[in-house]
Every structure is written in C-alpha cells, then in structure tokens.
Structure 1
Amino acid sequence: MAAGLAAVDWGAVWLAPWRANGEPVVQQILDGEAVHSALQAAPSAVGARIRFVPQTDLPDGTAYEQFIFDTGRVPTRDNLHDFFNGLVWLQFPLTKRRLNQLQAQAIAADGVRAVRGPLRDALTVLDENGAVLDAPAPLWQALAARDWRRLFVDLRPLWREARLVLFGHALLEKLVFPRKPITAHVYQAQAAIDLVASLDAWLAQELQPERLVAKPFVPLPVLGIPGWWPGNENFSFYDDSLVFRSAPRKSNHTMGSAAL
C-alpha cells in the first residue's frame, strides 16, 4: 500500500486535475492515517455529502452499492484502489451519487446476479475505467473508427484543442505504473470541459439508463495521447496492433456507437 502511494507521480499530466485533492490525502496516509480517515479529513469531503468508513462497517451479505445508497457511507479498504475510489468521490460527488443511485435501483429491480445486466455493466465500466473527452469532431471521427494513425499522427496538432479527464478509479490506479496497453473507455463531452465542478454537474445529468445501455463508450489507449508519454513521439509506438486494434467488423445487425 505505502509503496503504491509513494509511487504516485503527481506531476503526470493525467493527474493534474486530481493533485489538489489527492496529494494531501496521500501524505496523511503515508504518515499513518487509515485511508478512510484521510479521505474523510479532506476539506472537499464536506461537499461530497458522504462518509468514508472502514470496510468492516459493510455487513456480511449486504451489497456494497446498496449499503452506500442506504447509509451515505462508503466502505473503504486500505489499498490503492479504494484510495482512488475515494478521490473520485471527492472530485465528482454528483456523478458518483448518480452512479450509486442507478446501481441501487438496478439491484432493487433485479437483485444481485452473477452476471450484471447491460445497465449495471455500463455503470461499472464508467466507474472503473471511464474518461470524458472534449475534442474537435475530426478527432472523434478517427477515434470512433479506431483509425489510430490518423488520430495520433495525421491529426496530432488538433490534440492541443482536446482535453481528456480521467474518471475511473481503476484506470487511475493502473496509471500509477504506466503501461502501453492501459485503455480508457471514453464518453464524449457535449460541451467544453472547463471546471471540474461543471463537468461533474453535466456528467451526472448525462447518466440516463437508456443512454448507458447503448454503450456510449469508445476505447482509447491513453498513453498514445500526444504529451502523455515520451515514447509516442516516435510514431512507431502506434504500430503495436495488440494495443492499437482495428475496429471489429460490423455485421448487418450491428448499429450505434463503437463496441467496447
């Protein structure tokens, strides 16, 4: 745990929006605080309107999401994964509450199943691995087509007009130790991303069941983004077909947005 937190590079471009909330919490944990206590002590925890509690507060047999919905308390383990989950609660409280509400509604309707239904599956994808991208239309078209050479080489100057904000806590955790295959599932911003608070309010309103079950996410290997990783300055970086995969062929029955 301590080694993972000590490895967090707050100078990484993808952590820039998270640094103000995250760095003081990490320092408290490294000084000996439990993760839930350090998160709860953050000034932004007041606005999040939830409480971080030890994992032992979650009763046996109670669904995690249902417990949060019923009590307003977030069971938190002393590990890197739950640290980043808590950090997302601090940064995006409206969106996290909306995700939790939809999860609880789905559990109430269908129970906890061995295999999640399409709505809970989409909610989990966003919660664990999601990101929001504001980008010019040509970038979006290339991304949706998985035309990686056009996206990252031909249209490279356009990335100066784009902004990607990571949301998924598992995605943030994986990027503590960056690897080329790390891929976000990206949701398209319909307005410019300026302040995190306005992004939070917009994204919370966007999360409607009918929209989510349509799988409105596009895969994006994040270390391919110009300026995010030194290795991509050599364009052979994008020749790795195990990472930069072609779009699957659409059958006659396949419609809508790109598959996950």
Structure 2
Amino acid sequence: MAVGGLKFARLGRLGAPFADDGAAVRTAWDDGEGLPEALTQRIGADGPHFVPQAELPPGTAYEQFIFEAGQVPTRENLHDFFNALCWMRFPRTKKRLNELQAAEIAAAGIQAVRGPVRDACTVFDENAALLHAPDRLWDALARREWARLFGEMRPLWRQAQLLVFGHAALEKLVSPYKSITVHVWRVDAPWVDPRTLDAWLADDLKPAKLAAKPFVPLPVLGVPGWWPANEDPGFYADPQVFRPLRREAPAQ
C-alpha cells in the first residue's frame, strides 16, 4: 500500500522533525516494500522491530506485546507510519510510555475503562504537542485568552518552540482542517535537537504527573506561521474552535 502521495512539504514546520526519516521509508513503501520491513531496516539497532499487525496474538494487549516482545505491530496505513516515525525520532519517550502502560496493565489488568495513567499515556501518544514558551504566552494559553495569545502576543511566538508529537495528530495534519486540536505538554527548557528533547521528556513522564493530566488544548493551525489563513484576525473569531475556558460552577 502506497503512502498515498504524502508530502512532508505539505506539513511545513509541522512535519520537519520527521521529514528525513519519513522520506526514506516512504520511498521504499511506495516501491512496494512492506511498511514494517521498510521501517525496521531504517531504525537504529536500539529501536524496536516493526512487524505486521497479524503477529499480535489474539487477546493480547498491544502495549503488553510491545513490552514483552520488543516488536511493534504495524498496519499498512498512515496512522502506524507516523507512530513508527515517532519511535524513530523519540525512542526513549516511546519506550517510557510503553513501560508505563505495561506497568498499569500488570497492576490492574485490562479493564473496560483505562485508569488515569493509561488514559493520559494514550492521549499523549496519540495527540500531544510539546511547547516551550515564555511564561506570559503559556499563561494566556492556559486561560484560553485567544485574542491576546494570537493578537497582541503574536510576536512572542518567535520565542517559543512547538513540536507535534502525537501520531494521530500528525496523520490529521496531512489533510489539515481548522479544528485540529492538540493536547499541549509544557517543556520547561528549550531543546537543541530531538535527542535532547527525547531524554528530557522520558524523564518527565511520571505517573503522578500524567494522572493529573496537565494538558492544555491548542487549535494548532492557529499558531502564527503554521497556517496562512491565520494571518487574518477573523480566523480566530470562531468559538466552536477557539473555545473559552469553562469555569467551575460555585459550590452550593
């Protein structure tokens, strides 16, 4: 199955961290090589092996299989393609997420509803974005002060670093639409390269912090420089996308 004309250029800054790895795998995939094989040949020796989805035994949890076998079941689609690219660029973080999932499964088994740590790990893995930003910008984002965040504070975004990590979010961004919203995880210090960020992030992912779900929603195509349409201030006048912060009702 071909990548379907995936162009990392279409992702712009969103896809830049994955472009080199993705282009090499995409070429092999488009030439008819199976996606698991194309990935395994191009990942470092310390990374997992990618295997066809059929090798996941029936009744075995996906995360448990990865933890025990060191193999990632992979379908021939864009979702698993981006998941694999995240393994290639952020191996320590992906391994940490898997270890946390496996520990929760070992402690509580597979339940109808995931516990708070497993739930947060899944949200992070699928939809996280990583943001290092000045305190003023972060505070405005946390308060959902969209007009300030993308209006008067727009120049402050030049001091920020933002990277989309979640593979489901990256898949959506191949065919962008305005309401794509990521779950932002704050990074305390600037990063120089993916390896530096990977080491910091793997250490930062602790069960108690994840269970508290310190994510902040961000309609990612509103970020200055990431989507041409947001040069028009009217882009943000959409309460269905740029929603105000919900206030807790006062106790009676």
Q: Output the TM-score relative to the length of structure 1.
A: 0.93
Specify the SS of the correspondent of 1:103.
helix
The question of 1:37 aligning with 2:8 is answered no
2:140 matched to which residue of 1?
A: 142
**Shift in Å at residue 206 of structure 1?**
0.4
TM-aligned CA distance change 1:152 to 1:9, over 3 Å: same
Alignment-derived partner of residue 242 in structure 2? 244
- Tell me if the contact between 2:8 and 2:16 (Cα under 8 Å) persists in the aligned partners: no
Give the alignment of 1:77-116 within 5 angstroms.
77-116=75-114
Letter in 2 for 1:29: W
Matching of residues 208-247 of structure 1 within 5 Å = 208-247=206-245
**Which consecutive residues of structure 1, in runs of 5 or more, have no partner in the other structure?**
254-260
Aligned residues: 250
Q: Distance in 1 between the 2:219 and 2:191 partners?
A: 20
TM-superposed CA distance for 1:115, in Å, is 1.1
Secondary structure of the structure 1 residue equivalent to 2:8: coil
For structure 2, the residue ranges without an aligned partner over 5 or more in a row are none
Letter in 2 for 1:31: D
- C-alpha separation in 2, matches of 1:105 and 1:5: 37
Q: Of 64, 71, 78, which residue of structure 2 is paired with 1:73?
A: 71
Offset from partner CA, 1:66-94 (integer Å, 9 cap, x none): 00000100010101100001110001000
User: What is the CA–CA distance in structure 2 between the aligned matches of 1:27 and 1:241, rounded to whole Å?
Assistant: 41
Alignment correspondent of 2:125: 127
Shift of residue 250, structure 1, vs aligned partner: 2.4
Contact 1:39–1:45 under 8 Å retained in 2? no
Amino acid at match of 1:244: F
Contact 1:10 1:23 in 2 (8 A): no
Residue 10 of structure 1 aligns to a residue whose secondary structure is helix
CA deviation vs aligned residue, 1:121-164 (integer Å, no higher than 9, x gap): 10000000001101111110100000001111110001111110
Looking at structure 2, the residues matched to 5 and 41 of structure 1 have their Cα atoms a distance apart, in angstroms, of 21
Name the structure 1 match of 2:18.
18
**In structure 2, distance between residues paired with 1:249 and 1:54:** 46
Partner of 2:45: 46
Taking structure 2 as the reference length, the TM-score comes to 0.96
Q: 2:182–2:219: 8 Å Cα contact kept in structure 1?
A: yes
SS of the residue 2:60 aligns to:
coil
Cα pair 2:29 2:35 within 8 Å, conserved: yes
Indicate whether 1:8 and 2:13 are aligned: no
Report the counterpart of residue 166 of structure 1 in structure 2.
Answer: 164
The whole-number CA distance in structure 1 between the counterparts of 2:122 and 2:4 is 24
Residue 46 of structure 1: how far off its partner (Å): 2.0
Asked whether the 8 Å contact 2:8–2:19 carries over to 1, the reply is: no
Greater shift, 4-13 or 121-130, is seen at 4-13
Give how far 1:113 is off.
1.2
Encode CA deviations 1:8-58: one digit per residue, 9 max, x unaligned: 33351111111111111111111111111111111x43232x111111111
2:183 maps to 1:205: no
Tell me how large the CA RMSD over aligned residues is: 1.2
C-alpha distance in 1 between matches for 2:110 and 2:50: 23
In the alignment, the residues of structure 1 paired with residue 220 and residue 46 of structure 2 have an alpha-carbon distance, to the nearest angstrom, of 30
Secondary structure of 1:47's match?
coil
Match of 1:181 among 172, 175, 179: 179
For residues 187 and 5 of structure 1, the distance between their equivalents in structure 2, rounded to whole angstroms, comes to 31
State the distance in 2 between where 1:115 and 1:132 align.
Answer: 26
Q: Distance in 1 between matches of 2:32 and 2:44?
A: 19
